[in-house]
Structure 1
Amino acid sequence: MTVLPRGLALVFVHACLLHSVWTKLELSVQDSVEVLLGAPALIPCHYGFGPSSQEPPFVMLQWFVRSPGNSSRARIFYGDSGQQLVDNNTEYSERVEVISETNRSVLTIMDVRLSDHQREFFCQVNGLAAGSAEGKTVLRVFAPPEAPVIEAVPHGISVTEEQPAKIAVCEAQNGFPKPNITWYKNGELLESSPGQVKFLVLHWRSSSGLFTVQNTLLLRVQKETRDALFSCRVSFSVPGDVRSLESSPVNVTVHYPTSMVELWKESPPGLLREGDTVELRCQGDGHPPPTFVFTREQQPDVPLDSRGDVLILSSVSRKDSGLYQCRPGNPHSSSEAKGEVQLTVHYLDAAVVVPAETEIMFRGEALTATCNALSSLPTTTAWYKDGRIVGTGSSLLLQDASYHTAGEYVCEVTVPVLPALQTQSKVHIIVHGAPQMQSPEQEVRMEQPTGRVLNLSCEAQGSPPPTLSWSLSAAQSWEEVVSRSFSHSSLSVVSIRVSADFSAVCNASNDLGSEARVFSIKAVPMVTAPAAFSPAEGSGVFIVVIILGLLLLAILGSVIYFLHKKNRLPCGRSGKQSITKEKGNTKDIVVEMKTEESVLLKAVNGDKRAPTEQ
């Protein structure tokens, strides 16, 4: 840059003295210019000589700067109609630029720094005889801070603290001028209050000149503070405006004693029964959650073995019924805070049946059996025999006992509202009585061919099981082929070769009496010569064999005829395969043959046929 020569300055002054009188110079500048850090600052300067006056032939314009608190100032620019010069060796030698127009000059400061803040920039205009004037503009520099960062204290704060305790710290970095931090609780501004709310504000300046502000919130917490959300807001100035940035909200941990306790049955659901495992859970409104002491009302000074907030009672019985309580183990908690729950363990004792185990009855007698079970809940009773229900209620009446009455009776007692409670007991009924023939006919008459082997069957009921014996009226060849005894009956079958008219008597007897059944047999000549068979085989065997042979021949002939009619009986290999495939249909034929065989055997050996059926 070029410095104005001294000789040129003298010529300039001389010219000013020789000039005629001019109108007074007028000049205007802005009081201040605001700009963001790093941006260019434009400082305008306007001047004039009045609307009717003549502009002087020579106008000199200069820019000066002065730092705050400094009385001296330094020139940074000079210019007139002939030249524009930026002064060397100043702080602004490389950062300023001046654009001069008619009656207007604009000073531009590039890359504004924090050191430019609050500096005064002077615009001076000299119009010689028109006079001189200057104006001052203050440059203000702004730097928005970073978003505020909030950090809540990691530990809990007790409501028992008597003085405000540190809640959270809010910090905003790298702002200029110094930003301001305010606190909010649930969106409402917090203000300082003696003994309740305090703020501790710190700030420092980095080497770059930017400010970092830290604001610590101290608050006397209450129980309701546990749900509060705290946030901070940093306010800062920017050119022509004031803006703010808000932090994310935080919640603080509040410690407070337990004032309310609740105790409930966690499991099992529904009513309790003996043998259940019961889980009781206790919960209080204190924080942190306290440990609990479980007791029973019957023994309030004897703590029960629990795990934290859970009490487990294994395989409970009716003795475990009662009022259970839990209290906080924390001594700071209210001594009146406790939870209670009433447990009722329901039970069903074993059913008792009267008569017990085994009871003997006689035919025709009546018996009332009772069944009862002690229970804490209403019960229902049902009686079963052979898996079928035979009665309900605690009493079972057995009237006019018969042999069908005998058997095992099961009494089942159930609690309807708690079906898992169930018990059973039983009684065995034995019915004693004199023998009674299975068939009501006392005498059976029949005709049989001479020489035939006849099977006679005799079955009688009775308890104790009757003894069966046979007696024949005439000399006959006979033998007993079946003799069986059951719990309430006996069976005997004899095989007799018919040689003449005779009667056979089956006599059934036990300790309580006897009963007889008579078979009257009339011998008639046989139409065909009888074959010789042993008595054990019976004359019907030969007849059955003949009939079966005839049936098989008839069936075989029908099958061959059927295949012939359907052209399904070839002579080759494929014909054999077709016959093989037809074998699946013979199953039904075999079944039918067996059925006929059983009918024939029954007809031949039937022991209860009347004479008209012969």
Structure 2
Amino acid sequence: SSDLRLKVHCFFFLCVAVQSIETVTALYGETIVIPCNNGAPPPRDLMFTKWKYEKDDGTPGDLLIKQVQKSEAMVQATDDYAQRVSIAANSSLLISHGSLKDQRIFTCMVVSASNLLEFPVNVSVQKQPSPPEIMDKAKVLNKDKLTMVGTCVVKDANPTAEVTWTKNALPLAADGKAVVVIRSVRVDPATGLSTTSSTLQYTATKNDINANFTCKSTHLLAVQETTPESFSIHYPSEKVSLQILPRQPLMEGDNVTLKCHADGNPPPSSFFFHIMGQKLLVENSDTYTLTAVSRASTGEYKCSLVDNEEMEDSQSIVVNYLDLSLTPTGMVVKTVGDTLVVEPQMDASGDPKVSWTKDGKVTKAPAFGPLTYADAGVYVCEVTMTGFTRRQSFELVVEGGPVITGLTKHRADDGKHKVLICEAEGVPEPSFQWSINGTDEEISYHNGKATHKITVTPRANLSVSCIVTNKLGEDFKTINVSSADVSHAVCPAGSQEDAQDQATLIVGVVVGLLIAAGLVGLIYWLYMRNSRQGSWKTGEKEVGTSEESKKLEENNHNV
């Protein structure tokens, strides 16, 4: 009867346990802790605690029993659990090295002097998967073509992890056309852990350049993502462009590079270049160089794809030019009075600007009349146009026999010497010769004008000649120079000749005054005589006051 009560008791509690069964979640590989009666204190009259489990075939199996009177529990299991089970002080069952095989119902039986209770617990073992990894990644994606991006693998999970794909952090929804996702799950027969694989096939567009693709793993224990991946997008060329380097305007003699560019990826490696009616194949390069172009190189140039010649582009090249010729050039030797015609001739692709310089200074275009020495110099004609500068020059030399333009003298600052200055014009530079010896010689020559200065001390009145000569002739002039008597000089600062000149001037002034006084006296005498004769003619007696007689006597005396 006691056994029957026990069975009934056990049946009654078993039914209750099934209705109120609890679940414990454990981690794979860790120690599983299963509390007895949810950790509630045991009854005071506890006799022993027993743990048992449900085998794979549904039959019960004993694990261990712990009696109150004994300090150690007795392991009753004979299978794998024999080495892995133990009991804690609060009667919790401890199972080391938890695995998926431990996902079953474990029952804690509490036996006391007054009762027998069973507390079944369902164990669930979870395993966080390894981080997701993209395998068999594509090297490139093809535009408008379904291409496999890669396979995302999430290993060793329990329960099975969910795998999704994202592009630029947004989920990619499979539509069976542009986006195809193939999912598979494989369970390891030894561990029971699952590995999820997700293969993404994607139809790329140009907008996917630099797009970031990621694989995302979602599990009860963690959410993990791969490092963003970007892929090169391959697409055929849709446009060809021809570039001219350097940029125009181009000038004769320049090297010109034709650069053909196609917008495909990868870009084409070979092109056809159409050069002045000829088609040239250039392989493994996108450029073709024209060396030292000329005005004849002006025209239209093209480039096209090798595999699609209809896809082409063209550019017109204009080669600018500027020619300058000058008549005359070099050294031009002319004689004073000659004529010279200067003729610059230009041939240009644009409107050039002409400027002239003479001896480095800006001047007008030379239009010579009879040539003078002042016309001599270096003339440079400069013609400029955008990007161009041309120069031509000539040196004009105006020659002529020497001509004396001036011969002068003046007194030196010390008052004791004469300074003679002879000025002349002539090219080549004339040489000077004097008919008298001099000192302190000074010579200057500029623009065909020469000056020669000497200081002399003449001992007598002389006629001094200045003679100038060059290879084309000679000229001379004479000047009178008087002697200077330094010891009898009236003025220390002047010569004897100057003192004589001053004395002559003084004598002339005195003589002039005497002549003027005599003329006045003569006029007065004639006047008085005429006055007296008039009185006699009329028979009148000359009458005068004493003051008038006195004044008349004074005037006669003064005369």
Shift in Å, 1:185:
1.8
Q: Does the 8 A contact of 1:461 with 1:489 survive in 2?
A: yes
Match among 250, 269, 274 for residue 229 of structure 2 = 250
Q: 1:351-430 counterparts in 2 under 5 A?
A: 351-353=325-327, 358=332, 360=334, 362-363=336-337, 369-391=342-364, 395-398=365-368, 401-415=371-385, 417-418=386-387, 421-430=388-397
Instruction: Show the 5 A alignment for 1:256-295.
Output: 256-267=235-246, 271-293=249-271, 295=273
Distance 1:438 1:45, change over 3 A: same
The change in CA–CA distance for 1:85 and 1:453 in structure 2 (over 3 A counts) is closer
Aligned-residue offset at 1:60: 8.6
Distance 2:88 2:448 in 1: 138
SS in 1 for 2:3: helix
Structure 1 pair 96/402, CA: closer, same or farther in 2 (3 Å)? same
Aligned partner letter, 2:215: C
Seen in structure 2, the aligned counterparts of structure 1 residues 389 and 337 have a Cα distance that, compared at 3 Å, is same
Say whether residues 1:461 and 2:428 are aligned partners: no
8 A Cα contact 2:165 2:216, kept in partner = yes
Residue 257 (structure 1) shift: 0.8
Structural mapping, 1:157-556, within 5 Å: 157-159=141-143, 161=145, 164-202=146-184, 203=186, 205=188, 207-238=190-221, 243-267=222-246, 271-293=249-271, 295-296=273-274, 298-299=276-277, 301-303=278-280, 308-329=285-306, 331=307, 335-353=309-327, 358=332, 360=334, 362-363=336-337, 369-391=342-364, 395-398=365-368, 401-415=371-385, 417-418=386-387, 421-431=388-398, 436-439=403-406, 441=407, 460-462=424-426, 501-503=461-463, 517-522=477-482
* 1:75 alignment counterpart: 62
Q: Kindly tell me: are residues 230 and 499 of structure 1, through their superposed partners in 2, closer, same or farther at Cα, counting changes over 3 Å?
A: closer
The answer (yes or no) to whether the contact 2:409–2:421 under 8 Å persists in 1 is no
> Which residue matches 1:539?
none
Residue type matched to 1:150 in 2? I
1:109 paired residue number: 95
Distance, in Å, in 2 between the alignment partners of 1:260 and 1:477 is: 96
Give CA-to-partner distance per residue, 1:278-317, whole Å, 9 cap, x none: 4444433211121242535742x42276861233333333
Aligned pairs, number: 479
Identity over the aligned pairs, expressed in percent? 23
Cα deviation, residue 72, structure 1 = 2.7
Matched, 1:121 2:106: yes
- Whether the aligned pair in 1 keeps the contact of 2:336 and 2:373 (CA below 8 Å) is no
Indicate the RMSD between aligned Cα atoms, in angstroms. 5.3
C-alpha change, 1:79 and 1:16, in structure 2 (3 Å) is farther
Corresponding letter in the other structure for 1:13:
D
Query: Could you list the runs of 5+ residues in structure 1 that have no partner in the other structure?
Result: 1-9, 48-54, 529-602
Aligned to 2:508: none
Structure 1 CA distance for aligned equivalents of residues 112 and 433 of structure 2: 169
Match of 2:553 in 1: none
Q: Which residue of 1 aligns with 2:32?
A: 41
Distance 2:423 2:196 in 1: 117
CA contact (8 A) 2:383 2:390 kept: yes
The residue aligned with 1:558 is none
Q: Does 1:13 align with 2:3?
A: yes
Alpha-carbon offset, residue 485 of structure 1: 12
Whether the 8 Å contact between 1:59 and 1:80 is mirrored in structure 2 is yes
Q: Deviations over 1:513-554 (max 9, x none)?
A: 9965222244567869xxxxxxxxxxxxxxxxxxxxxxxxxx
Shift of 1:263: 3.6
Q: State how far apart, in whole Å, the 1-side matches of 2:113 and 2:432 are.
A: 168
Where 1:259 maps in the other structure, the secondary structure is coil
Q: Which amino acid aligns with 1:166?
A: M
Distance (Å, rounded) in 2 between the aligned partners of 1:321 and 1:504: 76
Return the alpha-carbon distance in structure 1 between the equivalents of residues 151 and 11 of structure 2: 64
The change in CA–CA distance for 1:211 and 1:266 in structure 2 (over 3 A counts) is: farther
TM-superposed CA distance for 1:425, in Å, is 1.4
Look up the equivalent residue of 1:403 and give its one-letter code: Y
| Corresponding letter in the other structure for 1:328 | L
Measure the CA separation in 1 of the matches of 2:417 and 2:465.
17
Which has the higher mean CA deviation after the structures are superposed, 33-42 or 82-91?
Answer: 82-91
| SS of aligned partner of 2:207 | helix
Deviations 1:180-204 (A, max 9, x none): 3222222222233334333344535
Report the 3-state secondary structure (helix = DSSP H, G, I; strand = E; otherwise coil) of the residue aligned with 1:237. coil
Pair 1:32-2:10 in alignment: no
Structure 1 residues 176 and 612, CA gap change in structure 2 (3 angstroms): farther
CA distance in 2, matches of 1:93, 1:175: 27
In 1, the alpha carbon distance for the partners of 2:245 and 2:131 equals 49
Structure 1 residue 145: deviation in Å? 1.1
| Corresponding residue SS for 2:106 | strand
Instruction: From 72, 84, 88, give the equivalent of 1:95.
Output: 84
Is residue 294–residue 311 contact of structure 1 (8 Å, CA) maintained in 2? no
Give CA-to-partner distance per residue, 1:583-608, whole Å, 9 cap, x none: xxxxxxxxxxxxxxxxxxxx99xxxx
Relative to structure 1, the CA distance from residue 380 to residue 116 in structure 2 (aligned partners, 3 Å threshold; closer, same or farther) is same
Determine if contact 1:351/1:413 at 8 Å carries over to the other structure.
Answer: no
Distance 1:24 1:100, change over 3 A: farther
* Matched-pair contact (CA < 8 Å) for 1:457–1:494: yes
Q: Matched residues in 2 for 1:79 and 1:483: separation?
A: 142
Give the Å deviation of 1:266: 4.9
Distance 1:342 1:245, change over 3 A: same
Query: Is contact 1:464–1:487 with CA below 8 Å preserved after alignment?
Result: no
Structure 1: how far apart are the matches of 2:443 and 2:34? 140
Question: Could you give the per-residue CA deviations for residues 73-115 of structure 1, whole angstroms, max 9, x where no partner exists?
Answer: 32334578888754242433343345798xxx75443432222
Superposed CA offset, 1:417-476 (max 9, x none): 43xx3222123435466753142x5xx57899xxx9999775532468889999x9xxx9
8 Å CA contact retained: 1:445, 1:520: no
Q: Secondary structure at the match of 1:303?
A: strand
Superposition deviation, residue 37 in structure 1: 1.0
Q: Specify every segment of 5 or more residues in structure 2 that has no aligned partner in the other structure, as ranges.
A: 489-493, 503-559
